[in-house]
Every structure is written in C-alpha cells, then in structure tokens.
A and B are shown apart, each in its own frame.
Chain A
C-alpha cells in the first residue's frame, strides 16, 4: 500500500481509531502489528502479482530474528552457543538478502558460462520483496544489539523468564519489525531506538502539531515536488535525451537531484508523522543534505538512518578510524562500496558507492578529518563549497537515473557538446518545482535567527507556509508515482 493512495486514506483513520479504542499496550501493539502486515500484503506489483505472497518471508524473518534475540538475551547461555546463534541469524539475514536481491548478480559473476546459460533466466526473475533491505537491516540491528547487551537486555526488551513474558517479548519484536510507517522504505530503525518506546499510548500523548507538520511537508515534497519533477526528468532516458540542449540536460540533472531528495525525504517525513500519530518517534533521515560543505557532511545529512546503521554495524566493527590512516581509508571505501550495492544488484550502484568512497577518502586525505567534518557558519567560501558538493552529488545521481554506464557516458558527452535552443517547458518545471526544496534548505539556515529575533512572527509564518503547502498538495499534485526507494 502506498502512502499516497486512496486505499491508505481509508486504512489510516481506521487503524488510528482502532488503536486508540483500547488503552492497553497489548491491544494497541496487536492492532498496529496486524495493520502493518495488512499494509504490507495489500495490492499488487507492476506485474500483477499480489503482495501478500511476500508476507511469508517477512514472517520468517521476524520469527528467526525474534528467537535469535531471545536466545542472545537469555541468561546462562554459553559463549559458544551465543556465537552459533549470532552466526546463524546473520547468515539467515544476509542469505535472504543475497538470494532475493543479488542472486542474479552473484550467479553471473561466479557461475561458469554453461551453468549461467541454464540458470541465468530463473535467477534473474527472482522477485524482489518490497522493503527487504530495510526490514533485514532492522533484523540485523536487533540481533546485534541483543548480542552486545546479553542478559543485561536491550532497553525496552528483556528476555522472557521462566515466569513468563514470552508472548509480550515476541509481540514487541513483531511490532518492531513490521511497524507500517517505516516498514518498506525506512527510516531504518535500530532496536535500541524503538523498543523502549513500546507501551500504552493515550490520545493526549499524540503530538498533533508535530505530526501534522511532518505529514504536510512530507506529502508536499512527494506529491507536489517529486511527482511533478518526475514528469520532466522522465526525459533523462536513453536515447531520448541525446537531442536535448546542454542547458536542459543540466537542468534535468539538477531536477533529478531535487526529485530524489523530495521523494525519499518526503517519504521519511510522512513515516515520522504517521509514527507520531501513534505516539512513536522515528529517527531523522534527512537534514538538509544539499547544504553540505563536504562529502563527509553530506553523509551525515543524507539517509542518516542508513549511514548510522553502516557506521554502527559495519564501519566501527571493521575498526573505524582507530587502526591507522590506511585502514581508515580501506574501511571508508568498503563501507561505501557495500552501501552502494545495498541499493541494488547493478554495477552502477557499486560504482556510485565506490565513487563516494574514493571521494570521501580523498577528502579526508587532503582536508584532514577535522576540516572534512567541519560545518560551522556560512561564508562565501563555504557557499561555493556547498555548490561544488551539490554538483558532485548530482553528477553521481546520474548513475541512479541511468544505471547503464554507456548511457551515463552518452549523457556526459551530450552535456558537453549539445547545442540548440532551450526547451522552456522542462526548464519551467525544474525551476518551479525545485524552488520549494531550495527555499526549504535556505529557510533552515535563516530560521534560527528569525526565531530568535521574532518568535511569534516565525511561528505564524511557519503555520502559514504549512497551510500553503497543504493547499498546493490538494490542488497541484503531480501524476501519482511509486516512491523511488521502493525498488531498493
């Protein structure tokens, strides 16, 4: 089910009413869990295959990770047994991800030509369960945190005892793994961030102001900005773009940069707003990424939940920056390469991640770790740096839009060599629908000063702007489209 669908417009009030109809935590968690599985299983994919067929894998993932976490958190387990459980759980999670997402890529890489000729077709047609990358990472987070915590327990999740608690333990795990606002496209929630929040929620706990503001901004970014930009950036398709003049090619690339942020950032804000309606907080996923003055800063602002997951469960266990400069560069490179590959089984994603990894390592080498992270105050120089970073990031987004490397290179050639009169229609769309994203970023720079100087005025302006965004969402939405990150 999509957040921007009519079925969701019926689903949400129904679930909200049922959730708040009971006051006990068990009822509320039960309602949200059942609703989340219904949300996941609703509808069909592009090929007409019903989504409920994907439910068994989500159930299996939940059961396996739940029992692994229970084992790891239980007192009196030997180290050897705990290691085996952790190993099996990680093997299951990575195996499921590898099979459903990377089987074709791995097969093509490793299988001899004769075997690939026989198995290539079935391997290439393994369906990709929606959200598998997201809920698998949450599963890994659960078992890793259970491994680290041991019998001390994760805050909000203690192992069941002989006296009981098994049902509530697993109810919490099922809820954590399936909570519908973040189930299919994040933010990737770590166990320690969420489990302690599970409990009875009252109507009066709902932060309506916060929820409505997040929902309004999220839906505006998705339905007005991203969906309208999508109609223009559809022209970035080989060979359609080869006749376009350079100015249009550049504008469409910028437009795609804003579209991908509005699409995914919008989704994340909607997820946060929905969670607030039920009394839960999800982590911030985007923090004005196009204001970044270095790539290091960009990765602290873009898809924060993935970056922090990779940092916590991959970069730091690999040694982070504690094992010398050389190892730090290798770790950075490896994490970004795998982070790129996380997005999909295409070499273009690996190249995208690798390019980011190399640039991050280069930045660290030339600027030093301190300056690469530095992000204080605005000067002309830092604005120029932000513009350069935006251009580098935008150029690399091309690999998302044109996964075939030869097409991306053709785009670069056309950008450098095409002439001709600008096509006004696409320029209009990019200018008009990118403007809100630019304004959103600029406002975040100006807001603290405005709020300090005239808090009442700033509050009223914020309300008016949100009302205007809701008005635009009703009257000016683009053609409905899937969320870009669903494919990951």
Chain B
C-alpha cells in the first residue's frame, strides 16, 4: 500500500485542482488573446462552435483576427463571432461554416487573404474541430483555451502593457514586418465564387470586408478597385472600412507593421459596426 500512496495523492489532488478550476471558471476573465497563434485560433473556434449561434460571423485572416470581441462591445455587432484565423484565410472560415450544418444569417468576408493558397496549417485547423479534445472541451468548459492558465497570464500582461485607449502614435513607423506573402493561388476566385454561391443558397448574406492593413500584399485582391469589382460581379455588398477611415481622418497604428494595434483595432471595430448597421446601398 505504501508504494501507492504518493501516486494516489498526486492523481486525486490534480483532479480536485481541475474541479476547483472548473468551479471558479465562471468568475474568471476570458482571454481574447493568446500566447500562440494556435491557441488564439482555438479560442475563436471554440467560441464560435460552443457558444449560442451568432447572427454575424467574420471570416478571414489574422488581419480581421485583431478585431476581438471587446472591440464591438456596445455596438450593433456586439455578438459578432470571429472566425478570422491566424495563418489562414477566408476559405477555411467559410469551409467551417458550410461544414457546420446551419450557416449564420450574415457573413463578413475579409478580402485581404482571399487568394491565399491552401496550406498544411489550414488542414490542421480544419482537423482540430473534429478532435476528441475539442469535443471534450465542449462538455468540460474548464478545458477551453480561453481559460488556460498561461493564456490568462499572457492576456493579463498584454492588457497591462497596452491598456485600453493607449496605442502607439497613429502612423508611427512600423516595426519590421514578419509576414511574408505567398503568391495568390490561381484557382482562388473560382473556389470563392462557389463558396459564396453555396452560402447564399443556404440563406446567408455575404458581405465583403476591406480593413486597414499596415502593408498591402501585391497578390491580394484587396486593392480598392479589385474589391469593388469583385463585389459588383458577385452581387454582394462591400464594406470598405479602410476607405471610410481615411475619409474621417482616422490613421490606424500597426503593432508589427501589418496588423492593427489594439486601440486602432477598437476604433476600426466601432467604425465597421457602424457601417455594417447601415442599410445596404
């Protein structure tokens, strides 16, 4: 019996600890940011998949991924689900929506990475939602990514470093950009047209979304003319937050030369929500 005692204490204490974490979870803050792209994506996937269905969903890349739920608090897009995944593109988000059975009434499609070639990262993210661990987190919320201890610590430290309202000076010289853009996949437009057609057939309103970015990808179909043409050809609405921000003299700051800094993301989020609430022209 003596050779079992320590083992028993270890296992029982750990299980009690997990139980205690599950008990206090409702009072814990929920992390919107994570220390890795994978965990940040997991938070978005779990929020979309495990919480009540949302009427508005945004799909895209890490560019729209910076529009955290807190950016929309108190706006008409308060319950927007964000399926804009780091290292990925809108194609994956739409695939996830189409694979989920019911589609939301409105989907915003970030146009900046429409042409992004499919990558192993997309396969792994697509696979994540079918994994046992993901399903388990649906039943045991303590296992969800938004309350991982180190993720909470990271989000808290990040929040202290960049408190609400504070950001780098607008237009400040960006740090060297780390993102390298692959060439656009030649077949993207045909695939995208198919996805849009399927979403609309299932009763979903598709809206293209153009955001401010620190550095344009020459291969992107996000240039103002291209996005307008695409919207016209597809017969969908385009919300050009970038153009509207410029009109209003809002000069966003970018944390790494590409992605919106937190305070700018909030300002852009509010503007986006305002534009989305307007009736379609």
Contacts and interface: CB of A to CB of B under 8 A. Distances in A.
Interface of A: 6, 206-213, 216, 228, 231-232, 235, 239-240, 243-245, 420-421, 423-425, 428-429, 432-433, 459, 462-464, 466-468, 470-472, 474-476, 478-480
Interface string B117-143: 000000010000001110000000011
Given A474-B143, A475-B143, A478-B38, A432 B148 contact: no
B14 A231 contact: no
Contacts of B157: 428
Interface stretch (B2-10, B60-68, B261-269): B2-10
A428 B38 contact: no
Contacts of B176: 243, 245, 420
30 contacts: A207-B3, A208-B7, A208-B8, A209-B5, A212-B7, A212-B11, A213-B10, A228-B35, A231-B38, A232-B35, A232-B36, A239-B180, A423-B175, A428-B154, A428-B157, A429-B35, A462-B6, A463-B10, A463-B13, A467-B14, A467-B17, A471-B13, A471-B21, A474-B143, A475-B143, A478-B38, A478-B39, A479-B38, A480-B131, A480-B133
A415 B42 CA distance: 32
B177 interface: yes
Given A424-B161, A463-B6, A472 B177 contact: no
B8 to A, nearest CB: 8
Chain B interface main SS type: helix
Contacts of B132: 6
Looking at A432, A459, A462, A467, the one whose CB has the most chain B CB atoms below 10 A away is A467
B3 A231 contact: no
Given A240-B180, A243-B176, A209 B35 contact: no
Contacts of B153: 432
A208 B4 contact: yes
A57 B18 CA distance: 44
A228 B3 contact: no
B10 A467 contact: yes
B41 to A, nearest CB: 9
Contacts of A466: 10
Contact of A475 (B11, B36, B148): B148
Interface residues of B, number: 41
Contacts of A228: 35-36, 150
Contacts of B14: 467-468, 470-471, 474
A479 B45 CA distance: 14
A243 B7 contact: no
A99 B124 CA distance: 32
In order of increasing CB-CB distance, the 8 nearest A-B pairs are A470-B14, A467-B13, A231-B36, A212-B7, A471-B17, A208-B7, A209-B6, A479-B38
Contacts of B39: 231, 478-479
B4 A476 contact: no
Contacts of A213: 6-7, 10
B54 to A, nearest CB: 25
Given A210-B3, A428-B157, A479-B38, 7 more contacts: A231-B38, A240-B178, A424-B161, A425-B154, A471-B18, A475-B143, A476-B149
Nearest to B148: A476
Contacts of B36: 228, 231-232, 425, 429, 478-479
Contacts of A206: 3
B211 to A, nearest CB: 21
Contacts of B7: 208-209, 211-213
B177 to A, nearest CB: 7
Looking at B18, B21, B38, the one whose CB has the most chain A CB atoms below 10 A away is B38
B256 interface: yes
Nearest to A470: B14
Nearest to A204: B3
Contacts of B11: 212, 467, 470
Interface string B250-279: 000000100000000000000000000000
Interface string B146-171: 01111001100110010000000000
